[in-house]
């Protein structure tokens, strides 16, 4: 597929990189962009050579939110009948391989929500996060009121959503919204390093760990722990478990074969 709003490449033959590419609109997330993103993510997810995916933007903006120019004329009937957001923004939730958000510049509104839907966020020191929808007479609509409080707690989530103030990278790291902050010129190296590390582990363990952590957001503790226990038990059926433990016992590097 020829993409108009994103760029897609592979690094080291095993990391899929998707770069949001609407620079004039600070990567505002249009319907077409979200369609393309869904196609690209699904293609990487289905590609056996790919072990991890990085989603990134430009230095100035990861994404400045949903496309306000397009939304301005939408009516309730348009968004409800057209299943706005649900129709194509949530494809990322079905991606089983890890998706790392490498965020520099603005991650606002839908941009912050998209980053939070990724599995973890590595931020450049110029990153700024916010849910400024209230300034537009709307509220966050791509999961911000649900994922932000889970990430940073109620008080900061309320503060950011009700006042529309932005959080800088240092505050985002303190609050647990991002996992690491690095200098802007090191952002892609850092994200790629993390992705390559993940690629070298057993794909089965990686998928299972992601699935189990995501389950923690949907279930109570006892059921969540039982879900984890069953997956943990299942890993003992893999060749990779034998390889990983044999390699440790014999003081050598494991060679996982993802089976």
- Among 5, 19, 25, 202, the residue binding ligand CAA under the rule CB under 6 A is 25
110 binds ligand CAA (CB under 6 A): yes
* 239 is a catalytic site residue: no
* 171 is a catalytic site residue: no
Residue 127: C-alpha distances to residues 49, 54, 143, 160 (Å): 31, 16, 20, 15
Report the distance separating Cα 254 and Cα 259, nearest Å.
Answer: 13
141 binds ligand CAA (CB under 6 A): yes
Which one of the listed residues 16, 105, 109, 110 is annotated catalytic?
A: 110
Chain Cα centroid distance, residue 165: 22
Beta partners for 15?
A: 11, 52
Question: What are 207's two structure tokens?
Answer: 């998928």
**What contacts 122, CB < 8 A, 6 or more positions away?**
100, 101, 102, 103, 178, 179, 180, 181, 182, 187, 190, 191, 194
Report the distance separating Cα 188 and Cα 60, nearest Å.
Answer: 14
Least separation, in Å, of the C-beta of 115 and ligand CAA?
Answer: 12
Question: What are 187's two structure tokens?
Answer: 């952002």
- Among 7, 59, 69, 94, the residue binding ligand CAA under the rule CB under 6 A is 69
Which one of the listed residues 40, 66, 172, 175 is annotated catalytic?
A: 66
Cβ proximity to ligand CAA, 98 vs 130, nearer residue: 130
Least separation, in Å, of the C-beta of 139 and ligand CAA?
Answer: 8
Least separation, in Å, of the C-beta of 184 and ligand CAA?
Answer: 16
Least separation, in Å, of the C-beta of 16 and ligand CAA?
Answer: 24
* 110 is a catalytic site residue: yes
Interface ranges with ligand CAA (CB under 6 A) = 25-26, 28, 64-69, 85, 106, 108-110, 113, 132-133, 136, 140-142, 144
Query: Which sequence positions are flagged as catalytic?
Result: 66, 110, 113, 133
């Amino acid at each position: 597929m020829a993409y108009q709003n994103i760029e897609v490449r592979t690094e080291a033959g095993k990391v899929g990189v998707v770069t949001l590419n609407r620079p004039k609109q600070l990567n505002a997330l249009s319907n077409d962009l979200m369609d393309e993103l869904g196609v690209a993510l699904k293609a990487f997810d289905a590609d056996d050579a790919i072990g991890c995916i990085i989603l990134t933007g430009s230095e100035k903006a990861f994404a400045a939110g949903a496309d306000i120019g397009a939304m301005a004329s939408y009516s309730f009937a348009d968004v409800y009948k057209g299943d706005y957001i649900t129709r194509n923004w949530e494809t990322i939730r079905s991606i089983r391989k890890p998706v790392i958000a490498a965020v520099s510049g603005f991650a606002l509104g839908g941009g912050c929500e998209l980053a939070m839907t990724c599995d973890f966020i590595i931020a450049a020191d110029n990153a700024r996060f916010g849910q400024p929808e209230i300034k537009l007479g709307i509220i966050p609509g791509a999961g911000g009121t649900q994922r932000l409080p889970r990430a940073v707690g109620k008080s900061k989530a309320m503060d950011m959503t009700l006042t529309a103030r932005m959080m800088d990278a240092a505050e985002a790291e303190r609050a647990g919204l991002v996992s690491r902050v690095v200098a802007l010129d090191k952002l892609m190296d850092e994200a790629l390093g993390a992705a390559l590390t993940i690629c070298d582990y057993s794909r089965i363990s990686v998928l299972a760990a992601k699935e189990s952590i995501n389950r923690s957001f949907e279930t109570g503790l006892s059921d969540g722990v039982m879900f984890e226990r069953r997956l943990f038990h299942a890993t003992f059926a893999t060749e990779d478990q034998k390889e990983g433990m044999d390699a440790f016992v014999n003081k050598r590097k494991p060679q996982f074969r993802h089976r």
